[in-house]
A and B are shown apart, each in its own frame.
Chain A
């Protein structure tokens, strides 16, 4: 927003004049610089496309500089990820820079237009802006946070056991019917569900398909463009800068419920009456080692703490928080990068983590669903084939005259199929180091698989034609290995919920997407069987003054 109607620059007239003086000091054409700057500003506002911008000044730039290193449209798009900054943010980068003064730095940029014209120039290869932002980048600009907590949820591994829901309810001391995490089975024309008459509907095999129900797991989507936050009249609903969590400040919320109205997913639950767990009783839940409820309920911000976690007090809105007290380390370092639902999920269908980090579980699972499924399954404690033998165990067990058959006989939990998948994973793995960030268990487990295969191959050659054939790996190529994995785990679709609404959710789903006519059906586990309440209205109606049963508008 301009501070002055006359100026095209967000910082106003004075700043613009200062820039112009600086441009005059350079050897280049100031008018061209200012004009391009103005247009670049329009690019950032979306009034001009990059391509149009490039084209418009191409001749003049060639004439003035003899070259036009500005990124072409394609190059710009690629670079945009790195330099999303708007004018002010790019220029903010100069603040607090210990080295040169702002004026000197600006001059050094040479190409005048770049001074104000930021965005369009910022990605120029070897250009001045890059070095500038590198040296001047300042840590307080949190809008570029590298962390965005989110999830990848494998709906085909979900067996509808509702453990995540009960874990969430316990972790946050939620009232009955306040289902921050909600798991449902659904059907539509293209996706018939479980048929009546068959037993539990849960496959007896521990293979990836959890059940023959179509499942949907619905936590808050922690949208990047959260409609609930947009409509909030108080800023109580906000996005925490440092990690993109969408939270509610219970001390600020006025209980107008507009967030619940605006959220297309229906993830909000209002605290209509006094919560059943007293504030003082919050630390009493099992496995909790805290002195004060504040340690569970308050999350860390740049400037102090805010009450955003656990059950809401009366009269304000609540929803899934993705456990900020865990992310902030207040519940111990081992819980950083986990959520109560993820930890509880028996089939490991929920992968929580930093969705921006390429090495994180949700990222890996989203980008390499089949391989990740295989890795999760191979190392899952909940499967029959639990535990991949460690290289040490392999070293101590195998001898060089073993062949596949005899080797496998020496391990209780290892069969030919498991070995085949392990080898396939080894073949497709690009051996990315997991790094030391949290939630990188998929890459870590993948490394264990690869290490085990490497150790195994010290004794038994798995790359001979005979071995490859025996392991059903086709011609032993990476492509065939990929097929083998897909044969084993399936090749799931991925989707985000209600992408058409434009919320940019941070939860990605693997599996079948419910169509617009999908309807919830009874799932494999009944809510009441695990102590949950589905239809909260039944409870609320009991407290309604002068309500009439069974009558509805």
Chain B
């Protein structure tokens, strides 16, 4: 651990500095987003025919593909992010307080990307409001897609409230050191603030965290999102109760990996060795290992159920899955990550932040590949598998690939913008690190010894 004392100046550094590197990253991200928006404009003009998608069945295509795969992946990142943050608050895992806000911002970013994908994926996005809101009272009773939109919206509101409430404390106290040009925004954020509310806000945030922890497995990434697929008997590659836990484990893996990458970036950029400590990376890595283990276990269950004596449709789907080279690569990446995490747990000398970064990227690539494959697999081995043109073919078009660049750029830009506006590390965390936080409690998790 560093001997430096964490200070307010540390967390204000991103706001009050402007470097060439920042502009460079900003420029690249902006170009990435712009490139996709142009491509999307072309798609709107020509129709979805510009994608690699098609009709499953006699048509020999895949109805959904990368757009939906990436959509559920981003939702997973988002849900995992807020679960991480809620766990920190609810279970008193104070050790991770410095990254709690980054996790919350990841949620906002992930949900924005996911929401964008919903619109990009539709044939008539212009009708989003009239057709969906207009019939909401009917469709909410039975359409998993409507449940989906509902929970994502609810989650967005919940996360934004959560973030907004905790920011009031910081912004109020650090106001004098924040740039004047954002004055109106700070005014709105801290409207009606008094110091007496701190305790109330603490309680509200606790309850919001409790709601997140309860809702996430039951309704969100452990419920409604997998139900979009798991409830359909037409596609044996998707059906089954295992999808709930499976999706949740993927969400948590992706989110932890995402937070590791973002934390790494901020630590490096702003010399936060003493704030986002090695210990945090070690801890996150162990959690990542835990959820990776769960994920591999669920995969084993799902596949083995199909290939041992599965009903024919399920058996075909499972056989096709394990035979797919990309599936093997994805699972291989994730398994290798688990092996490394396990090894560095036993021999701490094997740990390095760079390795943690590599593992996180591997896991994210693995989960994204698995998600896109998962979506496509449904159409390749349907229950009614009579068509000569099924399994069909699907390969994402350039525009679809570009959507990954665009949404990633969107999230990067969100972080770049937010980091100039508000502290991305909580004031509470600094206070806690200095040992002066009034609410500090015993950490429930013993720190890993280096």
With a cutoff of 8 Å between Cβ atoms, the chain B residues found around residue A255 in the complex are: 48, 122-124
With a cutoff of 8 Å between Cβ atoms, the chain A residues found around residue B55 in the complex are: 260, 266, 268-270, 536-537
With a cutoff of 8 Å between Cβ atoms, the chain A residues found around residue B417 in the complex are: none
Across the interface, do A261 and B64 meet the contact criterion of CB distance under 8 Å?
A: yes
Across the interface, do A231 and B145 meet the contact criterion of CB distance under 8 Å?
A: yes
Within 8 A of A (CB), among B282-327: 312-313, 326
Across the interface, do B232 and A233 meet the contact criterion of CB distance under 8 Å?
A: no
Nearest A residue to B48 by beta-carbon distance? A272
Q: Choose among A186, A235, A261, A315 the residue that contacts B235 (Cβ–Cβ < 8 A).
A: A261
CA distance A497 to B401 in the complex (A): 38
* Chain B contact patch, size range: 35 or more
Tell me what chain B mostly uses at the interface: helix, strand, loop, or mixed. loop
Query: Nearest chain A CB to B238's CB is how many angstroms away?
Result: 9
With a cutoff of 8 Å between Cβ atoms, the chain A residues found around residue B63 in the complex are: 257, 260-261, 270
Across the interface, do A541 and B382 meet the contact criterion of CB distance under 8 Å?
A: no
With a cutoff of 8 Å between Cβ atoms, the chain B residues found around residue A536 in the complex are: 54-55, 58-61
With a cutoff of 8 Å between Cβ atoms, the chain B residues found around residue A285 in the complex are: none
Nearest B residue to A517 by beta-carbon distance? B312
Across the interface, do A537 and B61 meet the contact criterion of CB distance under 8 Å?
A: yes
Given contacts A543-B50, A545-B399, contact A254 B132 (CB under 8 A): yes
Given contacts A536-B59, A545-B50, contact A230 B123 (CB under 8 A): no
Across the interface, do B131 and A236 meet the contact criterion of CB distance under 8 Å?
A: yes
Across the interface, do B59 and A258 meet the contact criterion of CB distance under 8 Å?
A: no
Across the interface, do A253 and B124 meet the contact criterion of CB distance under 8 Å?
A: yes
Across the interface, do B49 and A551 meet the contact criterion of CB distance under 8 Å?
A: no
Q: Which of A260, A272, A497, A501 has the most CB of B within 10 A?
A: A272
With a cutoff of 8 Å between Cβ atoms, the chain B residues found around residue A271 in the complex are: 47, 123
Query: Nearest chain B CB to A247's CB is how many angstroms away?
Result: 15
Across the interface, do A230 and B142 meet the contact criterion of CB distance under 8 Å?
A: yes
The answer to whether the Cβ of B244 comes within 8 Å of any Cβ in the partner chain is no
CA distance A270 to B382 in the complex (A): 18
CA distance A545 to B403 in the complex (A): 13
With a cutoff of 8 Å between Cβ atoms, the chain A residues found around residue B379 in the complex are: 261
The answer to whether the Cβ of A265 comes within 8 Å of any Cβ in the partner chain is yes
Within 8 A of B (CB), among A486-544: 497-498, 501-502, 514, 516-521, 534-538, 540-541, 543-544
The answer to whether the Cβ of A547 comes within 8 Å of any Cβ in the partner chain is yes
The answer to whether the Cβ of A304 comes within 8 Å of any Cβ in the partner chain is no
CA distance A262 to B235 in the complex (A): 8
CA distance A272 to B124 in the complex (A): 11
CA distance A231 to B228 in the complex (A): 9
Across the interface, do A537 and B127 meet the contact criterion of CB distance under 8 Å?
A: no
With a cutoff of 8 Å between Cβ atoms, the chain A residues found around residue B131 in the complex are: 233-234, 236, 252-254
Across the interface, do A518 and B386 meet the contact criterion of CB distance under 8 Å?
A: yes
The answer to whether the Cβ of B144 comes within 8 Å of any Cβ in the partner chain is yes
Query: Nearest chain A CB to B377's CB is how many angstroms away?
Result: 9
Q: Choose among B58, B127, B139, B392 the residue that contacts A182 (Cβ–Cβ < 8 A).
A: B58
The answer to whether the Cβ of B80 comes within 8 Å of any Cβ in the partner chain is no
With a cutoff of 8 Å between Cβ atoms, the chain A residues found around residue B326 in the complex are: 553
Across the interface, do A179 and B58 meet the contact criterion of CB distance under 8 Å?
A: yes
CA distance A540 to B49 in the complex (A): 6
Across the interface, do B58 and A235 meet the contact criterion of CB distance under 8 Å?
A: no
The answer to whether the Cβ of A11 comes within 8 Å of any Cβ in the partner chain is no
Across the interface, do B384 and A543 meet the contact criterion of CB distance under 8 Å?
A: no
Query: Nearest chain A CB to B199's CB is how many angstroms away?
Result: 35
Within 8 A of B (CB), among A221-237: 227, 230-236
The answer to whether the Cβ of A139 comes within 8 Å of any Cβ in the partner chain is no
Nearest A residue to B127 by beta-carbon distance? A254
Query: Nearest chain B CB to A546's CB is how many angstroms away?
Result: 3
CA distance A269 to B389 in the complex (A): 14
Across the interface, do B138 and A235 meet the contact criterion of CB distance under 8 Å?
A: yes
Nearest A residue to B42 by beta-carbon distance? A545
Within 8 A of A (CB), among B388-421: 388-390, 392-399, 401
Nearest B residue to A265 by beta-carbon distance? B384
Nearest A residue to B133 by beta-carbon distance? A234
Query: Nearest chain A CB to B365's CB is how many angstroms away?
Result: 15
Q: Choose among A253, A258, A266, A273 the residue that contacts B143 (Cβ–Cβ < 8 A).
A: A258
Across the interface, do A264 and B139 meet the contact criterion of CB distance under 8 Å?
A: no
The answer to whether the Cβ of B146 comes within 8 Å of any Cβ in the partner chain is yes
Q: Which of B39, B51, B232 has the most CB of A within 10 A?
A: B232
CA distance A314 to B44 in the complex (A): 10
Q: Choose among A233, A260, A314, A521 the residue that contacts B132 (Cβ–Cβ < 8 A).
A: A233
Across the interface, do B313 and A270 meet the contact criterion of CB distance under 8 Å?
A: no
Q: Which of B48, B379, B390, B394 has the most CB of A within 10 A?
A: B48
Interface residues of A (CB under 8 A from B): 177, 179, 182, 184, 186, 216, 227, 230-236, 252-258, 260-274, 314-317, 497-498, 501-502, 514, 516-521, 534-538, 540-541, 543-548, 551-553
Given contacts A261-B232, A264-B383, 18 further A-B contacts (CB under 8 A): A184-B58, A234-B131, A253-B127, A256-B122, A257-B64, A257-B123, A261-B234, A267-B57, A270-B48, A272-B47, A315-B48, A536-B60, A537-B59, A540-B49, A541-B52, A545-B51, A547-B397, A551-B395
Give 24 A-B contacts (CB < 8 Å), ordered by A residue: A184-B386, A227-B234, A231-B145, A233-B143, A254-B131, A256-B122, A256-B145, A260-B63, A262-B232, A266-B55, A266-B57, A266-B58, A269-B59, A315-B48, A317-B123, A498-B383, A501-B234, A516-B313, A516-B385, A535-B60, A537-B55, A537-B60, A540-B61, A553-B395
